[in-house]
Amino acid sequence: MSHKSGPQPASLSLGRKLRAVDLFCGAGGFAEGFRQTGFHSIAANDLDPWAGATFELNHGPHGTKFILGDIGARAVQDQLLDAVKGLPIDAVIGGPPCQAFSQVRNHDRVIADPRNSLYRHYIEMIAAIRPRVFVMENVPGLENLGGGAVRRQILEDLRLDGEYRVDSRVVDAAAFGVPQNRLRVLFIGVRTDLGIEPRFPEAPSFLELPSLGRYKAARGKSEWTYRHERSLATAKALDALLDPDDLRLVTVKQAIGDLEHLRPNARLLRKPSNEAIDYDRLPASAYQRARRGSSASLLNADVPSIREDTVARLAAIPRGGNFRDLPAELAARYLNGKKWGPELGRDNLSRKYFFAYRKLHPDHFSWTLNTKADCVFHYGCARALTVREFARLHSFDDSYHFMSGDRHSRYAQVGNAVPPLLAKAIAETVRRILADAEPAPSEIVLAAE
């Protein structure tokens, strides 16, 4: 295997079909990574009709039954259980929202908090389906909340009174070929009767990733570049990151550089375009070639319009910088006498704007994408990214389309998703767990069935 080939699928033959259930599936990034590793999602559920429509568009042709609705509703639970009735399920995957974890005090059970009903229903479905393995993905802050008390409580709840062996780990999607620093905590549980301890995806090649630092350049301006104090391990990682033919680590430009020609709409358009456009340039990196695949044209490629004051600010911000790099005259709340957005009662940009006007660095990973189009801006021209560029930075193939919902929803569908390449690494780990487990005779299903 070439050292530049990136993560590879596990070549494991289990002699049976691999079945998964996807809860809180969103637009389907988690399911996509598992699909690419040989899992078949039997059923999936989400409350968002637009994200659900995207899931059905991309996974319906593979035979997944999508169930729209609140997972707390008995009718939805019954549909999920009917879909898997009589079938041994290898994996349940999902990332339930956990709004009340930060409020845990003393020894109150997290699962009992009414604001964590979705988390509670996730556990209830695991108990009902009894998958061999489950994976729960969430924000990394859960690890340290309450001095680690939240993590301990989650582990206790997920063990289901000893039915599962469970552990957790924080991983960075960038270490698995995703061109985005995206830290996530994974809780992986393995059914106790399998006799296997939980495992986690290991970064294929590098223990340390390069990072950017802010330096003063000529005339007092700031610039962002790689930190000079690099270890040998980081230096090797940087060599791989800057190599356009190496899929192990991928920069922003290697991900979206072939789409630099796209320009903002001249006026505000509320409805996003569903029209395909031709590729304007040949792919210039292995990652671009991989994401294009056999796609003949590009969808989700219209650029949002942009305000004059945003253009002025972006021109003053170095690549890799943010609003903290702005000169005083551009840090005013309003420029050019034009007002927009809510009145904040102050003349200058506030601490609220810490993550505002972030200009991507072409030769580094993207920041973590959220649900808003303006969470990052292009490194080379004054504009936000397209939904397709969001999807590229999330490691979706160009053939994965986001055709439902308004403009905000489509960005949110991508930003909320598990990056498929990270999901693929997780799925490969689950495959290895299943391959090493002693199969229960009643659960062996011949691949020929």
- Catalytic site positions: 98
Any residues with CB less than 8 A from the CB of 85 and at least 6 apart, and which? none
Q: In what order do the strands lie in the sheet with 39-46?
A: 65-68, 39-46, 18-23, 91-94, 133-138, 183-191, 164-172
Tokens representing 152 are 């301990």
Q: Is the distance from CB of 77 to CB of 100 less than 8 angstroms?
A: no
Asked whether the CA dihedral 175, 178, 183, 187 is positive or negative, the reply is negative
Q: How far is CA 111 from CA 45, 153, 421, in A?
A: 20, 9, 30
d(CA 438, CA 100): 38
User: Quick count: other Cβ atoms within 10 Å of Cβ 11?
Assistant: 8
For residue 91, give the H/E element and its range: strand 91-94
Residue closest to 424 by CA, chosen among 93, 122, 101? 93
d(CA 321, CA 313): 11
d(CA 420, CA 178): 9
Asked whether the CA dihedral 130, 131, 133, 137 is positive or negative, the reply is negative
